[in-house]
Amino acid sequence: MTIVINAAPSFNSLGLLPRPITTGFGDLLGYINVGDPDADQNLILSLLPSGGTTKGLADADVSTPGIQIGGSAAAINAALAAAS
């Protein structure tokens, strides 16, 4: 019998949180990334922008506040890297 252990995913951000952003200027989201040793697992990352907007991300659940990004860790990181 094989016992499979589900490892917890991780959330990483480089730099300061909350991140200081100058009004009227954009910021890329590639400094945020998720990881999961269980590469075949689907994750959901929820972002709640305050005082601004997030562009370039498709919301996986419009009935939930904020923006939900779903998929593998690699897919979520690729979406964050392409967003602003």
Show me where the domains of the chain are located.
42-84
Q: Does residue 25 carry a pLDDT above 80?
A: no
**Model confidence over 26-59: pLDDT tens digits?**
667 777 888 888 877 899 988 887 766 777 888 8
pLDDT for residue 11 = 78
Q: 32: which strand partners?
A: 13
**In terms of C-beta distances under 8 Å and separation of at least 24 residues, what long-range contacts does 70-76 make, across chains too?**
70/42, 70/43, 70/44, 70/45, 71/42, 71/43, 72/36, 72/39, 72/40, 72/41, 72/42, 72/43, 73/9, 73/33, 73/34, 73/35, 73/36, 73/39, 73/41, 73/43, 74/39, 76/34, 76/43, 76/45
State what percent of residues in the chain have pLDDT above 90.
14
Q: Give the residue-averaged pLDDT of 4-31.
A: 71
Q: Is the pLDDT of residue 84 over 70?
A: no
